[in-house]
Amino acid sequence: MDELDRNILGILGADARTSVATLSRRLKVARSTIQARLERLETSGVIAGYTLKLGEQARQGRLRASVLLTIEPRTQAAILTRLKAISEVERVFTTSGRFDLLLQIAAPSTQVLDQVLDEVGAMTGVRSSESLIHLSTRIDRAV
């Protein structure tokens, strides 16, 4: 991946709807070059897809939380299977350090969030959990 590829990804990261013509003009490169680069980035898996990023207006009314889990050895596969069945669990990351998993959860109310946290905490193999409720977003560079 060279500087042109990184520039293409940077522009698309800010606005995935940017057209090939606009990319070409902004980067001062032929449209055919941009198109070929995009096809190569897609084929190689660097670009996995184009998506919609919801703004604060659309996210209002949804509570978000990060949940840190410590789990029993050799229970990760079973826990992941159960977490996949909970629609409020948006993402699960493995981590290093004191905790084994980090969950991102979004719920429409405190009652639903409380139920999800209870369900996760009651899973066989979960030793402990720590929940962090998201209050406001100060920086968001995620694509």
Q: Is the pLDDT of residue 72 over 70?
A: yes
Q: Which residue has the tokens 């660097």?
A: 46
Give the per-residue pLDDT at 138: 87
Best CATH choice for the domain 56-133 from the list 3.30.70.920, 3.40.1400.10, 3.40.50.460, 3.40.50.2300: 3.30.70.920
Q: Which CATH class is domain 3-43?
A: mainly alpha
Q: What's the pLDDT at 109? A: 92
Query: What is the pTM for the complete model shown?
Result: 0.65
**Contact in structure between 100 and 129 (CB atoms under 8 Å):** no
Query: Is the separation of the CB atoms in 66 and 104 below 8 Å?
Result: yes
Contacts of 10 (CB under 8 A, 6+ apart): none
pLDDT for residue 127: 97
| Res 143 pLDDT > 70 | no
Domain spans, the chain = 3-43, 56-133
User: Does 31 score more than 60 pLDDT?
Assistant: yes
- Using alpha carbons, select from 38, 95, 34, 47 the residue that is nearest to residue 69: 95
pLDDT digits (tens, 9 = 90+) for 90-138: 999 999 999 999 999 999 999 999 999 999 999 999 999 999 999 988 8
Say what angle helices 31-43 and 20-27 make with each other, to 10 degrees: 110
Summary count for the chain: helices (H), strands (E): 6, 4
- What integer pLDDT is reported at residue 54 of this predicted model? 67
pLDDT band per the 50, 70, 90 thresholds, residue 58 = low
Structural tokens at position 41: 């980035």
